[in-house]
Amino acid sequence: MKLLMVGARADGHAHVVLDAIVEDGTHEIVGLADDNPALWGQGVLGLPVLGDVAAAAQSLERLGITGAVIAVGDAAARCRLAAACRDLGLVLPPVIHPAAYVSRYAQVGEGAFIGAGAQVLPGAVVGELARVMAAGVVSHHASVGRGATIGPNATLCGRSRVGERAFIGAGAVVLPEICVGNEAVVGAGAVVTKEVPSGLTVVGVPARAVDWKP
């Protein structure tokens, strides 16, 4: 399928998503869209930036584009841009790096991203537009909410649950059966031993709430 990639930051998530799609070979990115006007009409990562999503819509038929991938780190923006692409009739296939392991007994939602070396084990659910970054582990029967991010090398132990648009930092561990609420943030390297309420930021070992907002 020919794809529009939304998000054209050459030194950001877009390059990681492009790499996974090229290595996998199932889909082909033929154009980029980005909200940053400075990029419009430029070539980024060897691909043309067609404008924002509304402008790129004018080129979909000409380029044979029927799908989109949202390569934007901010969870709320990712969900908003996905809705805009769906309104244009584009489908959002999951992107799974060929060096990831995804069990046949796991579920991966539309528009989700699974990076190189990640593992998604039996019974796990990765929600739509969620991201499991390089070497992240979603252990058996754990779940990742819509739009959430599991950072590089982070581990969700068995039956743990991460809420919508939550962010689990690099190398953090969420212990078995523990829930992390919607839009909560777990700092890099933290070990989460008890429930994290929605919207809270926790850091450290064991993870404790902090009084600042990222």
Ligand X SMILES: CC(C)(COP(=O)(O)OP(=O)(O)OC[C@H]1O[C@@H](n2cnc3c(N)ncnc32)[C@H](O)[C@@H]1OP(=O)(O)O)[C@@H](O)C(=O)NCCC(=O)NCCS
13 is catalytic: no
When binding is defined by CB under 6 A, the residue of 48, 117, 158, 189 that contacts ligand X is 189
Please give the Cα distance from 148 to 55 (Å, whole number). Answer: 28
Q: How far apart are CA 51 and CA 40, in angstroms?
A: 5
Q: How far is the CB of 202 from ligand X (least distance, A)?
A: 8
C-beta of residue 66 within 8 angstroms of C-beta of residue 91: yes
**Of 15, 27, 97, 140, which is the active-site residue?**
140
Secondary-structure breakdown of the chain: helix, strand, coil percentages, each rounded to the nearest 5? 20, 30, 55
Interface with ligand X: number of residues (CB under 6 A): 14
Q: Is 47 in the site for ligand X (CB under 6 A)?
A: no
Contact between 191 and ligand X per CB under 6 A: no
Report the residue from 30, 116, 188, 191 that binds ligand X according to the rule CB under 6 A: 188
Q: Which is nearer to ligand X, 64 or 204 (CB)?
A: 204
Instruction: Return the range that interacts with ligand X (CB under 6 A); candidates 39-47, 77-85, 106-114, 183-191.
Output: 183-191
CA angle, 182 then 187 then 189, to 5°:
130
133 interacts with ligand X by CB under 6 A: yes
Interface with ligand X (CB under 6 A), residue from 67, 111, 151, 163: 151
Q: Is 204 in the site for ligand X (CB under 6 A)?
A: yes
CA atoms within 13 A on the CB side of 208: 5
Identify the CA nearest to 135 among candidates 16, 8, 21: 16
Nearest-angstrom CA–CA distance, 3 and 190: 36
Specify the residue, 63 or 203, whose C-beta has the smaller distance to ligand X: 203
| Calpha distance 54→77 (Å, rounded) | 15
Which residues are at the interface with ligand X (CB under 6 A)? 133, 151-152, 169-170, 185, 187-189, 201, 203-204, 212, 214
The catalytic residue positions are 140
